[in-house]
Amino acid sequence: MELSPFIIFVAAIFTSNILLTNFLGMCSYLSVSKEIESSFGLGMAVVFVTTITTVLNYFVYHYILIPLDIVYLQYIIYIIVIAAFVQFTEMVIERVSPVLYYTLGIFLPLITVNCAIFGVTLFMVIRKYTFLQTVGYAAGSGIGWMLAILALAGIRAKLKDKYIPAGLQGAGITLIITGIMALAFIGFSGVVVIQ
């Protein structure tokens, strides 16, 4: 575990993209990627929530779960932390910035069930990251997810008036595009490796 946080940050965006190599956050990825604008909104929300909740969960794991020896309860605790944080953010944004709430707010409830966020926390625990590595990994994963959904939204916008076989419309073609994107991202895999 001697990897520098910056390398982990870059690797989380490109070589170990949370969506394209670990398949996390697929549900909202498939359903929200129709418009670039809403993809951007959701992407920003994911970056924000992933970074903060993963760091929160890092502290929860190291300073609450381990000392109290209740690691077996970890899933419930993480979910509560994520849900509570999302709820809290929603309330704060609503008060402080109605404009931001208007663009970001509608995506926040979707995030609680986004497995990317929960997944990043679990990977962080399993790979035993240090604090700085956790920050790099969480931010990188969020940005990587946003990159993937923006790229897909861009492609789907171009695809709107193209002919697509009936059986492939909707989810089918989206999955194929994602597969091709994943192929392209494999090209990065020689650069840096994290596991």
Partner 1 sequence: MSKKDIFVTAAFTENSVWRQILGICSTLAVTNLMKNSLVMGLGVTFVLAFSNFTISMIRQYTPKNVRMMAQTLIIASFVIIVDIFLKAFMPDMSKALGPYVGLIITNCIIMGRAEAFAAKNTPVDSFVDGIGAGVGYTFVLLLISFVRELTGFGTIFGGQVMGDWWTNWSIMVMAPSAFFMLAILIWIINGSKAKAGGK
Asked if 175 touches partner 1 (CB under 8 A), the answer is yes
Q: Least CB distance from residue 118 to partner 1, whole Å? A: 5
Asked if 155 touches partner 1 (CB under 8 A), the answer is no
Site string for partner 1, 21-50 (x = CB under 8 A): xxxxxxx--x--------------------
C-alpha distances (whole Å) from 103 to each of 96, 114, 123, 191 are 13, 18, 30, 36
Pair of tokens at residue 162: 């193209």
Q: Which of 1, 161, 167, 190 binds partner 1 (CB under 8 A)?
A: 167
Between the two ends of the chain, the Cα-to-Cα distance in Å is: 10
Q: Least CB distance from residue 178 to partner 1, whole Å? A: 5
Q: Rounded distance, CA 45 to CA 124, Å?
A: 20
Q: Least CB distance from residue 20 to partner 1, whole Å? A: 6
Q: Least CB distance from residue 123 to partner 1, whole Å? A: 6
- Compare residues 27 and 100 and give the one whose CB is closer to partner 1: 27
Contact 116/24 with Cβ under 8 angstroms? yes
Q: Rounded distance, CA 174 to CA 155, Å?
A: 9
Q: Rounded distance, CA 9 to CA 54, Å?
A: 14
| Angle 190-191-192 from CA coordinates, rounded to 5° | 105
Residues with Cβ within 8 Å of residue 160, at least 6 apart in sequence: none
Q: Least CB distance from residue 99 to partner 1, whole Å? A: 26
Asked if 172 touches partner 1 (CB under 8 A), the answer is yes
Q: Rounded distance, CA 125 to CA 129, Å?
A: 7
- Compare residues 116 and 146 and give the one whose CB is closer to partner 1: 116
Query: 83-142: which residues touch partner 1 (CB under 8 A)?
Result: 83, 112-115, 118-119, 122-123, 126
Neighbours of 121 (CB within 10 A): 27
Binding site for partner 1 (CB under 8 A): 20-27, 30, 72-76, 79-80, 83, 112-115, 118-119, 122-123, 126, 165-173, 175-176, 178-180, 182-183, 186
